Amino acid sequence: MPTLNTGLIIAGAYADKSRRVLMAQVKGKVDPKEAVRAVGELNKVLFEVIVNNLRLDKGDVVRVVIDYDVRDGQIKWNFDALRVEAFKRVPSKEVDEKVREVSARIFGFKSA
């Protein structure tokens, strides 16, 4: 069974990336209109998960992995195998603050 894997991408690009990956994987095997239909179906589910339920920001990172099958010229998703990995972006200001705090604690100096 083939697998669509977007790799690590910003959450704001999941729809485009899933479309490009699927189109490349099924090129010559499935009518392009069917690939567009199928990826629209997948992206509907991903939107609900990524945007409405997880409430990820566009700059957060996701990886989408799902198995599918091609039967009679149609793409059938295995939604039981859908995996969405989500990584929240930590603002630079917060990271910088923690770096200063830890450095000061470890090396015993106060940063400016």
Q: How does pLDDT run across 7-29, given as a tens digit for each residue? A: 999 999 999 999 999 999 999 99
Residue 56 domain-assigned? yes
Residue-level pLDDT at 111: 56
Compute and round to an integer the Cα radius of gyration of the chain: 20
Q: What pTM was computed for the model?
A: 0.83
Burial code of 21-50, b = ≥16 C-beta within 10 A, e = fewer?
A: bbeebbeeebeeeebeebbeebbeebeebb
**Which ranges of the chain have pLDDT less than 50?**
none
Residue-level pLDDT at 11: 96
User: How many distinct structural domains can be found in the chain?
Assistant: 1
Residue-level pLDDT at 112: 55
Q: How many CB atoms lie within 10 A of CB 18?
A: 22
> Structural domain of residue 31, as residue ranges?
3-107
Residue-level pLDDT at 74: 97
Residue 112 domain-assigned? no
The CATH number for 45's domain is: 3.30.470.50
